[in-house]
Structure 1
Amino acid sequence: MFSTIFGLPAHPLVVHAVVVLVPLAALSALVVAVWPAARDRYAPAALVIATLALISVPLATHTGEQLERHVRPSAFVEQHTSMADGLLPFAGLLWLGLAVLVAARRLGATREVSWPRYLAGGAAVVAVVGAVASGVQVARIGDSGARAAWHGVATSSGQVSGPHH
């Protein structure tokens, strides 16, 4: 896989997909999970966003692992890497909740049975848990990534330091 895009490290560019898509998927999942009237109209779109988010997570992880080989080891980088490895299960849980919610909604619309409604309720809970966990984890990973990238670059007085200045 690529490690650079137009000569720039791929990870800082690819990670923006995660930073945008995972919270957007989480917000979309929360809306369709807690607002049943929105499910018919928005659940399929939320599932598409969650699918793109789910695909973006391993791409960002892979490009991050490639970048890690080219930066000085530090506790900040190690913490960021460790936290980032835990995002995929949460994003997967969010996706699973939405996928089952969409499927249950379609089953309920075509059958005269009540079990799809119960399945949708359970899927909504899974989607909410996945949404909250994914959103929190993306914020934590982003914070640790910023610390890893910028630690030691600026002084407490705001003066930029480092080899280029």
Structure 2
Amino acid sequence: MFDQITGLPVHVLVIHAVVVFVPLTVLVGIAFAVVPKWRWVLRWPLAIGALIATGGTWAARLSGQAFFDRLNEPEYVETHASLGLLLSWVMLGFLVVALVASYVLTGPNPIRGAIEREGPSRVIQLVVAIVLVAASLVAGVQVIRTGDAGSRAVWGQNQ
């Protein structure tokens, strides 16, 4: 499997995309949900950011598994590996919620001077906004937990 680039494990390189894009997309998701007047400008960053963050997470998971196998599956990495597996599924769920929210939630568009388009009822929009905030928070917490376990595995603080 393709698990190294110029001698460096791909996992070590890919995790930087996860560390950057997941928190940024989480913040965009929360802002998109709670500030309707920003939706017109945050719609595409949310959708594209969620795609990149989720893709990066899955790339990190697959390259991490290859790295784990190359290291002969050391015990001190097992917590990080299991949290990374959970993160990849959490991010898949976050992606679905973010894409649905980017389509369903509407707001004012200052360029057009009116609501962007007719959307579903306000109750449905409120429910979708709440689910987006919840999914964003879960993704944010999970990426922190996974990263912390990974750094503890690397730096030997397995407490």
Task: Note whether the superposition's TM-score is higher than 0.5.
Answer: yes
Residue aligned with 1:115, SS: coil
Question: For residue 21 of structure 1, what is the aligned residue in structure 2?
Answer: 21
The Cα offsets for residues 64-89 of structure 1, whole Å up to 9 and x where unpaired, read as: 00000122544320111111100123
Alignment of 1:1-165 (within 5 A): 1-105=1-105, 109-111=116-118, 115-151=120-156
CA distance in 2, matches of 1:63, 1:149: 16
Shift in CA distance, 13/141, structure 1 to aligned 2, threshold 3 Å = same
Please give the alpha-carbon distance, in whole angstroms, between the structure 1 residues aligned to 2:147 and 2:72.
19
Could you list the runs of 4 or more consecutive aligned residues of structure 1 that deviate by over 4 angstroms after TM superposition?
A: none
Structure 1 unaligned blocks of 5 or more: 153-165
Provide the aligned length of Structure 1 versus Structure 2: 150
TM-score by length of 2: 0.84
Structure 1 length-normalised TM: 0.81
1:134 positional shift: 0.8
**How much does 1:97 deviate?**
2.3
Q: Give 1:11's aligned amino acid.
A: H
For residue 105 of structure 1, report the CA deviation from its aligned partner: 3.7
Name structure 2 gaps, 5 residues minimum: 107-114
Q: State the structure with more CA Rg.
A: 1
